[in-house]
Amino acid sequence: MKVQNRTFIISGGASGLGKGSALELVQAGGYVALLDRVDPEVGQAVEKELGSSAKFFHCDVLDTESIAKAVQGAVDWASKTGKPLGGVIPAAGVNLPAAILNSKGQTVSLEDVDFVIGVNVRGTIDLVRQSAVHLAKVEPEGPDGERGVVILVSSSSAYDGQYGQVVYGATKGAVASMALPMARDLARYGIRVVAIAPNLFVTGMSSLMSEKAWKSISQTFLFPNRAGNPPEFSMLVKHIIENPMLNGTVIRLDGGSRLAKI
Ligand SMILES: NC(=O)c1ccc[n+]([C@@H]2O[C@H](COP(=O)([O-])OP(=O)(O)OC[C@H]3O[C@@H](n4cnc5c(N)ncnc54)[C@H](O)[C@@H]3O)[C@@H](O)[C@H]2O)c1
């Protein structure tokens, strides 16, 4: 599917991998609806930075009504600009590292469990669910009759979660596991689904990591010997949109890294 003149809904679009993807798609002639829970001033500043092909919609993916409002806003904007929806990238995600039982004998809080599952799993499904209703009505494009692409954001933690990543790893495993059934469900509408499983990328989320964890993960990269940068994620996003044969799969984007215990 062509990126040009299509509108992509991106949650977590105000920062990191979501924002990087938005920039790439705008540079390729696409339009981006940035859904994020950040303060409106922050979201509007990102909108301004990306230019007139970007629009910020305040949205908390934990709140289904908030998603409904933002998705409707994106649909109305797409209709106003005449650039139909082309896909959705649920990149909003959170991580609250905690061991199931730590060295002090404390267990992970269930409040944190619900929060991380709520954003990373329920929020992802809810955003795709509500966006798919509109994507399914888009005029099909090209000889394959393609209507859209869903790009899920999993993680290396889905495969080799480290100490303290029981909950985060479980949510990212869930995201990886939903790529194929979601692709099967949406195939009849000409909508593809692909998940990307990145290792460490330089973003707002990774900046919160301890120096010890950062150092440990950085050492696991085979080549190049460093963490990834958002443009290296977003060039894959663009390729997934453009390559119709990518569907129902998870692509590891990790410089050959396999996470160590910690
Ligand atoms: N950075 C990494 O090393 C890395 C590695 C693997 C996977 N990921 C995944 O990539 C995705 C993007 O993360 P990032 O690294 O760009 O982090 P980031 O913190 O820079 O960006 C995440 C964005 O999501 C938004 N967000 C969080 N909760 C939200 C909610 N409830 N509703 C709406 N927006 C919400 C935040 O406000 C933020 O703008 C996440 O799903 C993360 O798990 C990141």
Tokens for 1? 């599917």
pLDDT of 208 strictly over 90: no
Q: How do the domains of the chain map onto residue ranges? A: 7-253
pLDDT of 209 strictly over 90: no
**What is residue 248's three-state secondary structure?**
coil
Distance from C-alpha of 34 to C-alpha of 18, rounded to nearest angstrom = 8
Q: Give pLDDT, residue 217.
A: 86
Residue nearest to atom 8 of ligand 1 (CA): 155
CA of 196 to the centre of ligand 1 (A): 13
Measured at the CA of 71, the angle between CA 151 and CA 67, to 5 degrees, comes to 90
168 carries an active-site annotation: yes
User: What is the mean predicted confidence (pLDDT) over 5-22?
Assistant: 98
Residue nearest to atom 16 of ligand 1 (CA): 16
Report the 10 Å Cβ neighbour count for 239.
12
Q: Give pLDDT, residue 49.
A: 98
Distance from C-alpha of 135 to C-alpha of 244, rounded to nearest angstrom = 16
Binned at pLDDT 50, 70 and 90, residue 70 comes out as: very high
Binned at pLDDT 50, 70 and 90, residue 216 comes out as: confident
DSSP string, 14-69: TSHHHHHHHHHHHHTT-EEEEEE-S-HHHHHHHHHHH-TTEEEEE--TT-HHHHHH
Superfamily of domain 7-253: NAD(P)-binding Rossmann-like Domain (3.40.50.720)
Q: Give pLDDT, residue 213.
A: 81
User: What is the mean predicted confidence (pLDDT) over 138-145?
Assistant: 96
